[in-house]
Structure 1
Amino acid sequence: MSQCDTRIDGDCAVVVLGGEVDLSWSAQVRREVLGALERAPRVAVDLAQVSYIDSSGIAALVEGFQNARGRGQPFELVNVSAPVLAVLKLARLDRVFTIRTGAAD
């Protein structure tokens, strides 16, 4: 089962994703990420529990990144699971996103 929740941690909205982020779920991920940009000056997307991500899920993350950059807001990926990191590296997006291990503070 997929998960998509946002918590506020100080000045950072942390979007926590889990399960498989695919076409059936990516629209919800997109809404959650874009909504987080409205609610907090910083956004982090926690990908520790994501077992699979397809191109639509990656597109939702890229859209969030582009929106944040346009607003001058920090946007980072945290606790990226091995399957997600493999996809990011394959697409060379590991060079685009700020990727951190550990908490989003």
Structure 2
Amino acid sequence: MHDADQIEVQSETRGDAIIVRPIGDIDLSRAPHLREQLSGALQEAEARLVINLDDVPYMDSSGVATLVETMQMCRRSGKKLVLCQLQDRVRSIFEIARLDMVFTIVENTDEAINA
């Protein structure tokens, strides 16, 4: 994997939640690295995984698929997945695909922790 294929991912623990913050576009080349990062964070999370998408200006279908897979892993492990701070372009992808009805999407991290 080349450095260009890796996405920077910051994470922090707050209460029973792990907050993950990917930085940059999520596309076909970067989705596998993000998938690894989210899988690791999910194992550490006690009750919920929060994905803050504030620093993700663009996401293609492979990025969406990665989030769907993460949601399925959360459900299997009895944990909750919450997305927050979606930029307009990313939010529109979720709305067009009607995934805003499937995912829990809130405005900010504080809401996500309490969702």
Smaller-chain TM-score bracket: over 0.9
**Structure whose CA Rg is larger:** 2
* Alignment pair present for 1:82 and 2:88: yes
Q: Do the aligned residues in 2 keep the contact of 1:17 with 1:47 (CA within 8 Å)?
A: yes
Consecutive unaligned residues in structure 2, runs of 5 or more: none
* SS of match in other structure, 1:4: strand
Measured after TM superposition, the shift of residue 71 of structure 1 is 1.2
Q: Quick check: 1:34 aligned with 2:39?
A: yes
Quote the residue 2:23 is aligned against. 18
Q: Runs ≥4 in structure 1, deviation > 6 angstroms?
A: none
Q: CA deviation at 1:70?
A: 1.1
Output the TM-score relative to the length of structure 1.
0.93
Tell me how far apart the structure 1 counterparts of residues 13 and 81 of structure 2 sit (CA, whole Å): 14
* Structure 1 gaps, min length 5: none
1:65 maps onto 2:36 in alignment: no
* Distance across 1 between alignment mates of 2:22 and 2:72: 19
Shift of 1:3: 2.6
SS at match of 1:52: coil
Distance 1:5 1:56 in 2: 20
